[in-house]
C-alpha cells in the first residue's frame, strides 16, 4: 500500500494527491464511487485534516473528484481521450460532417464581418458587410456535454446553409452543386482559455473553468476559405494525446 514519506521534500498534500490519483488510475477508486472521508484519510495516513483538505480541493478543482453536499467526495468519470492523430480541422466542421442533420444545434443566426473582425481577415474580404451564417452546436458523449462549437460559413458561398441545417438536410444535399467548395485542407490553432458567463451554461460548467479552445479554418481545393470553426472543449472532460515517431 502506498504510504506518506515524511522525510521527502514533496509536500504531504502532494503525496496524498498522488496516492489518490494512483488509486483512481488503477481502478481501486472507481468512477462515480465515494472515496474515504477526510477523517478516514487523516487516520489512514496519519496526517492533519488541513493537509487532506488541500489535496482533496486541488483534485476537485482539477476535475478528478467532485463533491455532493451531505454525501461526500466522489471520483469523476475518466476524461475522453482525443488522439491528435485523429483530430483534424475537419472534426468539428459543419460542411465536412457526414451527418450534419444529427448535430445538437443550439442556435443559427446571421452575422456580419463587422461584428467579428477576424472573419474579414480569414476570408480575405474587402467589405465589413459580408454576411455569415453562424451555427452553434454541442458535442455530447455518454449524455455529458463535451464541447460547444461555433461555425461561421459565408452566405455568398452557401446562401441556404442555415435553412438546410434547420430542415435537417443530409450532407449530400447541402453540398449538391458545391463540390468546388468542399473543404479539402485545414489549419488549426489551439490554446487554453476559460469559460465565460455566456458559454459556461452551454458547457454546464462554472465561469472561469479551464477550456481547450481550437480555432479551425477550412479551405477548398483552390485554397479559398469556406468555413471558420471555434471549438471549446471542457478541459475536465478531455485530454489530448500526442504520439510521435522519429
Residue 60 grid coordinates? 476537485
> In the CATH scheme, what is the homologous superfamily, with its name and number, of domain 81-241?
Chorismate lyase-like (3.40.1410.10)
Predicted local confidence at residue 82, as pLDDT: 57
pLDDT recorded at residue 45 = 93
Q: Quick check: 144 pLDDT over 90?
A: no
DSSP one-letter string for 93-153: -STT-S-GGGSEEEEEEEEETTTSHHHHHHTT-S-TT-EEEEEEEEEEETTEEEEEEEEEE
More confident: 246 or 205: 205
pLDDT on residue 98: 86
Average pLDDT over residues 56-71: 84
pLDDT tens per residue, range 19-52:
998 898 888 999 889 999 999 999 999 999 999 9
Secondary structure (3-state) at 207 = coil
Percent of the residues in the chain that have a pLDDT greater than 90, as a whole number: 49
The Cα–Cα gap between 128 and 115 comes to 8
| pLDDT digits 0-9 by tens, 96-127 | 998 888 899 999 999 999 888 899 999 999 88
pTM of structure: 0.69
* CATH of region 12-77, choose from 1.10.3720.10, 3.40.718.10, 1.10.10.60, 1.10.10.10: 1.10.10.10
Least-confidence region, from 112-126, 158-172, 174-188, 197-211: 197-211
Indicate the domain borders of the chain. 12-77, 81-241
Statement: residue 83 has pLDDT above 70: no
Which residue would you say has higher pLDDT here, 93 or 79? 93
Q: Is the pLDDT of residue 230 over 70?
A: yes
Q: Report helix, strand or coil for 72.
A: strand
186's enclosing H/E stretch is strand 185-194
- End-to-end alpha-carbon separation of the chain, Å? 38
Amino acid at each position: 500500500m502506498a504510504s506518506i514519506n515524511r522525510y521527502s521534500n514533496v509536500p504531504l498534500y502532494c503525496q496524498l494527491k498522488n496516492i489518490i490519483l494512483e488509486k483512481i488510475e488503477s481502478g481501486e477508486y472507481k468512477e462515480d464511487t465515494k472515496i474515504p472521508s477526510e477523517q478516514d484519510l487523516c487516520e489512514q495516513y496519519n496526517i492533519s485534516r488541513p493537509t487532506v483538505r488541500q489535496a482533496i480541493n486541488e483534485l476537485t478543482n482539477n476535475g478528478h473528484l467532485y463533491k455532493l453536499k451531505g454525501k461526500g467526495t466522489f471520483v469523476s468519470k475518466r476524461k475522453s481521450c482525443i488522439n491528435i492523430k485523429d483530430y483534424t480541422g475537419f472534426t468539428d466542421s459543419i460542411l465536412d460532417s457526414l451527418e450534419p442533420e444529427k448535430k445538437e444545434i443550439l442556435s443559427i443566426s446571421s452575422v456580419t464581418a463587422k461584428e467579428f473582425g477576424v472573419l474579414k481577415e480569414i476570408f480575405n474580404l474587402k467589405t465589413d458587410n459580408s454576411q455569415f451564417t453562424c451555427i452553434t452546436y454541442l458535442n455530447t458523449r455518454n449524455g455529458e456535454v463535451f464541447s460547444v462549437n461555433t461555425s461561421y460559413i459565408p452566405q455568398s458561398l452557401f446562401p441556404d446553409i442555415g435553412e438546410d441545417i434547420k430542415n435537417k438536410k443530409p450532407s449530400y444535399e447541402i453540398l449538391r452543386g458545391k463540390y468546388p467548395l468542399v473543404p479539402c485542407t485545414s489549419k488549426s490553432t489551439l490554446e487554453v482559455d476559460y469559460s465565460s458567463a455566456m458559454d459556461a451554461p452551454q458547457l454546464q460548467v462554472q465561469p472561469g473553468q479551464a477550456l481547450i479552445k481550437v480555432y479551425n479554418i477550412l479551405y477548398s481545393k483552390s485554397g479559398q476559405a469556406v468555413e471558420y470553426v471555434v471549438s471549446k472543449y471542457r478541459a475536465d472532460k478531455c485530454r489530448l494525446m500526442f504520439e510521435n515517431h522519429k
